[in-house]
Amino acid sequence: MNKLSNPQEKPDSAMSRRAFMKSTAIAGLSLSAAGGPIGCRPGSRIAGANDTVRIAVAGLRIKGAQHIDVFREMEKVRVAAICDVDTEMLAREERKFASAGETVDTETDIRRVLDRKDIDAVVVATPNHWHCLMGIWACQAGKDVYMEKPVSHSVWEGRQLVRAARKYNRIVQAGIQKRSDAGLIEAARFIREGHLGRITLARGLCYKRRESIGLASGPQPIPDHIDYDLWTGPAELRPLMRKQLHYDWHWQWETGNGDIGNQGIHELDLCRWMMGESGLPASVFSFGGRYGYTDDGETPNTQITRYDYETAPLLFEVRGLPRSPGLEAMDAYRGMRIGVVIHCEHGYFAGGDGGGWAYDADGKRIRQFTGTGGVREHAADFIRAVRSRDSSELAGRIEDGHISSALVHLANISYRLGTLKGPESVREAFPRHPEIAETWGRTQAHLRRNGVALDERSVCLGPELAVASESERFVSREAFDSAFFANRLLRRTYREPFVVPDRV
């Protein structure tokens, strides 16, 4: 799937973006205060072509606020409710509506939003650990869902969200908006038509500056304007052991998925899409560390992951340290800091937000692909599909969001099962993969420029894990091998009553 039907046949140049997306796509309840579904909700409203689509946005700090702005610009779309456990965030966004002469309902508990019959769709822009449960609840309540990336916090719950979308016949869009960028759509078609020859390696890059989050001396106070129990939701209710509640949850495993799951999922998805791969890889391994500072973060700020796909290997790099100490500027690979480089037999494509360039084997630019980033187009796809009830209108179907999110989780599982080794152990462990030696060599030079001295216990080297794509599980070759322990990390432990159900 996700391949052009005939790679040698050039499609009509006037081919619409929607038609191309279709050609490449993978062929109600009330909620109780206790947090679970209690019965079927009849009469969920279906918005017709002439009706106003009423949206609720959950999670307001950064992405949610951006979504509010985008959806408010659309005709016959109304942001009718906003939801956040932080009442200061609610007040901030409510003031924006008031300054425009508009009103909006505010809630701190998503369950009260989902109980409303006048809400057609929910935008979920909360921390990652809430994504799937909120999306499943919304589907059960008869709501359509725009789900921010990653769509899940674990592999298992992502599949549960896909099942819920299908069972309740909901329109569920994943926030992988680069698939709606006209330039990248054109570039994907160009690559798959074979203009650069066979793909030999897909490389994703996330070179994004990440400062230390500091070291907390003990449990931190929770501000009065935040409902910490609701913020924690499905995760274990622990004292706050970092200086900042907001955003820095990305760098702790209980709530976040590191930068490969924060920024990197966009580039992972773009690589997979351009290769035409619809499922999981045959194997994965990941290694790296958290270098340059000592803080309360747990996820790596330097990470290299290799996925074994039939089309070509997919190699992903995370770097959170700058080009050198004291600079904000980051390293670049073939001109890219955040984006992809698709290596082919006769050249390569380098791009990201807003398109990119195709280069020949000598590094000469041969064609530009110009886009806008896809944010507004992606939102428009969602509204169009909500009206038509046709999920093929979506550029980012929830199945694709799930698979690309699962790539994040597979990488992190390998990393978390890793053992501390010396830098030379990387080459020794993976002699069959020359791209690893090249990438690791550049990474070591980058770390040296940042004053990081690697010793014999400084690289967390994850095992190579075989993956069964159909079952979305790791393959064990013997009892209690790495796959046995890896499979235990495919699903988290949930806290009552915030539990992703076994049967959706």
- Beta carbons of 229 and 33 less than 8 angstroms apart: no
Give the integer Cα–Cα distance in Å for 391 and 169: 9
pTM (2 d.p.): 0.91
Instruction: Compute how many other C-beta atoms are within 10 angstroms of the C-beta atom of residue 62.
Output: 11
> What single DSSP character describes residue 212?
-
- pLDDT given at position 8: 30
Find tokens 């082919």 and name the residue. Answer: 344
- Beta carbons of 121 and 56 less than 8 angstroms apart: yes
Q: Which two tokens stand for residue 241?
A: 């052991």
User: 3-state class of 207 per DSSP?
Assistant: strand
User: 3-state class of 504 per DSSP?
Assistant: coil
- pLDDT given at position 477: 76
Give the integer Cα–Cα distance in Å for 467 and 474: 4
Find tokens 């694709």 and name the residue. Answer: 400
H-helix or E-strand spanning residue 409: helix 398-416
Give the integer Cα–Cα distance in Å for 68 and 379: 11
> What does 46-110 look like in DSSP terms, one character per residue?
---TTSPEEEEEE--SSHHHHHHHHHHTSTTEEEEEEE-SBHHHHHHHHHHHHHTT---EEES-H
Query: Strand runs (DSSP E) across 327-395, as ranges?
Result: 338-344, 347-352, 355-360, 365-370
pLDDT one-digit tens code per residue, 368-403: 999 999 999 999 999 999 999 999 889 999 999 999
- Beta carbons of 161 and 180 less than 8 angstroms apart: no
- pLDDT given at position 19: 39
Backbone angles phi, psi at 445, to 5 degrees: -65, -40
Asked if omega into 150 is within 30° of 0 (cis), the reply is: yes
- Beta carbons of 244 and 216 less than 8 angstroms apart: no
Q: What is the block-wise mean pLDDT of the chain (504 residues), using blocks of 10 residues?
A: 31 37 36 40 54 97 97 97 98 98 98 97 98 98 98 98 98 98 97 97 98 97 98 98 97 98 98 97 98 98 98 98 94 97 98 96 98 96 97 95 98 98 92 94 97 96 97 87 95 98 96
Query: Strand runs (DSSP E) across 372-483, as ranges?
Result: 419-421, 459-461, 465-468, 473-474
- pLDDT given at position 198: 98
- Beta carbons of 29 and 140 less than 8 angstroms apart: yes
Asked if omega into 497 is within 30° of 0 (cis), the reply is: yes
Give the integer Cα–Cα distance in Å for 321 and 330: 7
Find tokens 């949206």 and name the residue. Answer: 55
Instruction: Compute how many other C-beta atoms are within 10 angstroms of the C-beta atom of residue 437.
Output: 12
CB-side neighbour CA atoms (13 Å) of 185: 27
**Of 406, 378, 156, nearest in space to 281 by CA:** 406
**Which residues 6+ apart lie within 8 Å of 233 measured at CB?**
129, 130, 133, 495, 498
